[in-house]
C-alpha cells in the first residue's frame, strides 16, 4: 500500500528587506501564529503555480512565474504526521499584499527577518537560517 503525504507550499514575499506575514485565525490549526502565505498543493498543480495561487488567494497579489524562486525544502515527520514544506521566495509582485482571506487570518505585518514576531511558525526561522548558511534542505523531526 502506498501512503500519501501533504505537500505544502509557502512563499516569502520580500519588500525592502522585510517579509510579509499573516496571523492565522479561525482555522483550528496554529491559530494565533504568524505564517507565510501558503497552502496545500492541489492535484495536477506544480509548486510555482501553487505559490502563485496561494499568494493571490491570501495576499491578493499576482506573482509572475519567473519571479518565484526556491528558498528551502523542509520535509517533516512528527506526532502530527509526515509531509514536505516547500518555501518559495519572491520580491517582485503586482499590487500591495493585504488581508484577502479575513475568515482565515486576523492581522498582517511586514517583519524584519532577524526580529520575527512572537509565535511565528517554526518552519520560517528554520528556512531563514538555512538560507543564511547557503543551504536549502533540512529534515525536521518533531
Over residues 14-47, the pLDDT tens digits come to 999 999 999 999 999 999 999 999 999 999 999 9
C-beta separation of 37 from 44 below 8 A: no
The predicted-structure confidence for 107-133, as pLDDT tens digits, reads as follows 999 999 999 999 999 999 999 999 999
**What's residue 138's pLDDT?**
84
Q: What is the mean pLDDT of the chain?
A: 94
Q: Which DSSP symbol is given to 95?
A: S
Q: What is residue 2's predicted lDDT score, i.e. its pLDDT?
A: 79
Query: pLDDT value at position 80?
Result: 75
Report CA 65 to chain centroid distance, whole Å.
16
Burial of 60 (0-12, 13-18, 19+ CB in 10 A): middle
Helical H segments across the chain, by residue range: 47-59, 122-133
Q: Could you give the C-alpha distances from 28 to 67, 103, 105, in angstroms and in order?
A: 32, 12, 11
Q: Is the pLDDT reported for residue 142 higher than 70?
A: no
pLDDT of residue 54: 98
The predicted-structure confidence for 45-54, as pLDDT tens digits, reads as follows 999 999 999 9
**Sign of the CA dihedral with 129 first, then 14, 109, and 98 last:** negative
pLDDT in tens, 52-110: 999 999 999 999 999 999 999 999 888 778 999 999 999 999 899 999 999 999 999 99
Portion of the chain with pLDDT greater than 90, in percent: 86
Q: Is the pLDDT of residue 141 over 70?
A: no
**Residue keyed to cell 528587506:** 17
Rounded Cα gap, residues 84 and 7, in angstroms: 5
Domains along the chain with CATH numbers: 7-141 (3.90.79.10)
Amino acid at each position: 500500500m502506498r501512503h500519501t503525504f501533504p505537500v505544502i507550499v509557502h512563499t516569502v514575499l520580500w519588500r525592502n528587506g522585510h517579509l510579509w506575514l499573516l496571523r492565522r485565525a479561525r482555522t483550528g490549526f496554529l491559530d494565533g501564529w504568524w505564517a507565510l502565505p501558503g497552502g496545500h498543493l492541489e492535484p495536477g498543480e506544480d509548486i510555482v503555480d501553487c505559490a502563485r495561487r496561494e499568494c493571490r488567494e491570501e495576499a491578493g497579489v499576482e506573482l509572475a512565474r519567473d519571479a518565484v524562486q526556491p528558498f528551502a525544502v523542509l520535509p517533516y515527520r512528527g506526532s502530527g504526521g509526515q509531509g514536505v514544506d516547500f518555501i518559495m521566495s519572491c520580491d517582485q509582485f503586482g499590487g500591495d499584499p493585504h488581508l484577502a482571506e479575513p475568515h482565515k487570518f486576523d492581522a498582517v505585518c511586514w517583519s524584519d527577518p532577524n526580529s520575527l514576531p512572537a509565535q511565528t511558525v517554526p518552519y520560517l526561522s528554520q528556512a531563514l537560517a538555512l538560507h543564511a548558511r547557503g543551504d536549502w534542505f533540512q529534515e525536521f523531526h518533531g
